[in-house]
Copies of this chain bind each other. A is one copy, B any other.
Amino acid sequence: MRARLMEATVELLVERGFAGTTTTLVSERAGVSRGAQLHHFPTKNALVVAAVEHLTERRGEELSRAVDALPAGGNRTRAVVAMLGDHFASPVFAAALELWVAARTDEALLAAVAPLEQRVGREAHRMTAAALGADESRPGVRELVQATLDLVRGLGLASTISDDSTRRRRILGEWADVLDREMARA
């Protein structure tokens, strides 16, 4: 039941945005009684934060496994960077974006979203550094890994209002080559 509520909440955030996501719509879509829903998540804020956290973790684990399954060498950096780009252009990113933007002007929501954002950010960094085989003890390498994540976040934002996939692929292909040169140099 919890999983159904989480999926329904994220779907509604993607389709209708934060303002258009109501607890009534979520319980209808999830096929869960209002009473049961309120028992688990007494407020809309509790529900949306839990839902974005749940889906972000699940999709993060999927991404992590996909990256682990990539062959070593060759075009590995290109494949990793392309996978990251697709991940940040996915519906779960749109749902997270709705939550972040709503939290910007809602103190109570921000108090729940800020620590979530920090945890997710740290986990994304750790996973990306490992996937790229980045030696972060070398000067500048940590910043390159962070820049990669900020770049895919910016591309993800661009992709929310238009299909930006061709441009994204071209930019990330170039960036992967730059990363390879820079990491060899560091």
Count of this chain's copies in the oligomeric assembly? 2
Instruction: In the complex, identify which listed stretch (A39-47, A48-56, A147-155) lies at the interface while the others stay far away.
Output: A147-155
Instruction: In the complex, identify which listed stretch (A25-33, A62-70, A92-100, A128-136) lies at the interface while the others stay far away.
Output: A92-100
Chain A count of residues within 8 A CB distance of the other chain: 48
Q: How far is the CA of A162 from the CA of B110 in the complex (A)?
A: 10
Main secondary structure of the interface of A (DSSP, over half): helix
Report the minimal beta-carbon distance from A26 to chain B, rounded to whole angstroms.
Answer: 16
Evaluate whether A162 and B101 lie within 8 angstroms (CB atoms) in the complex, with A146-B167, A171-B150 already known: no
CB pair B101 A17 closer than 8 Å = yes
Q: How far is the CA of A19 from the CA of B106 in the complex (A)?
A: 12
Q: How far is the CA of A17 from the CA of B157 in the complex (A)?
A: 17
A interface residues (Cβ-Cβ under 8 A, vs B): 15-20, 94, 97-98, 100-106, 110, 113-114, 117, 140, 143-144, 146-147, 149-158, 160-162, 167, 170-171, 173-175, 177-178, 181-182
